[in-house]
């Protein structure tokens, strides 16, 4: 089994806010499985939340998840590990891409609100 180079980098789970990551895991598992599967989501979270191992091994995780996500597992794990690597570098413990998405959503909401105010004033 071949693994991406990102898997050579360790993630310190004490630096990651998993509550920020969990919705992404749920959404991605749902897309890959074709239905919402809490078992896979909770199993993945359990692998990441192990108090005895704050530096999970992505290769072992991929092997363990293959029985659930089959051929989609490498794609899922590569994306998840990239998010976790970014999250541990962030002071808030969330991936930078999530922060940027929130900023864009906030700007879009502000634009809509401004438009609504202008329309009601006219």
**What whole-number distance in Å separates Cα of residue 49 and Cα of residue 22?**
11
Q: What is the pLDDT of residue 112?
A: 72
Q: What is the mean pLDDT of the chain?
A: 86
Give me the DSSP letters along the chain. Answer: ----GGGGS---GGG--HHHHHHHHHHHHHHHHSS--HHHHHHHHHHH--TT-SS--HHHHHHHHHHHHGGGHHHHHHHHHHHHHHHHHSTTSS-HHHHHHHHHHHHHHHHHHHHHHHHHH-
pTM, two decimal places: 0.77
In this predicted model, what pLDDT tens digit does every residue of 66-121 receive, in sequence order? 999 999 999 999 999 999 999 998 876 666 666 555 555 556 666 676 666 777 77
The domains of the chain, with CATH numbers, are 7-95 (1.20.1390.10)
Name the nearest CA neighbour of 63 among 74, 53, 54. Answer: 74
In this predicted model, what pLDDT tens digit does every residue of 23-64 receive, in sequence order? 999 999 999 989 999 999 999 999 999 999 999 999 999 999
Q: What is the pLDDT of residue 38?
A: 94
């Amino acid at each position: 089994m071949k693994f991406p180079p990102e898997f050579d980098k360790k993630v310190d789970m004490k630096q990651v806010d998993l509550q920020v990551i969990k919705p992404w895991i749920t959404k991605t598992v749902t897309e890959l499985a074709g239905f919402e599967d809490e078992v896979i989501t909770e199993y993945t979270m359990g692998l990441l939340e192990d108090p005895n191992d704050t530096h999970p091994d992505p290769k072992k995780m991929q092997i363990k998840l293959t029985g659930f996500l089959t051929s989609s597992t490498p794609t899922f794990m590569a994306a998840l590990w990239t998010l976790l690597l970014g999250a541990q570098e962030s002071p808030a413990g969330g991936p930078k891409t999530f922060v940027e998405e929130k900023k864009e959503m906030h700007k879009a909401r502000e634009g809509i609100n401004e438009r609504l105010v202008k329309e009601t004033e006219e």
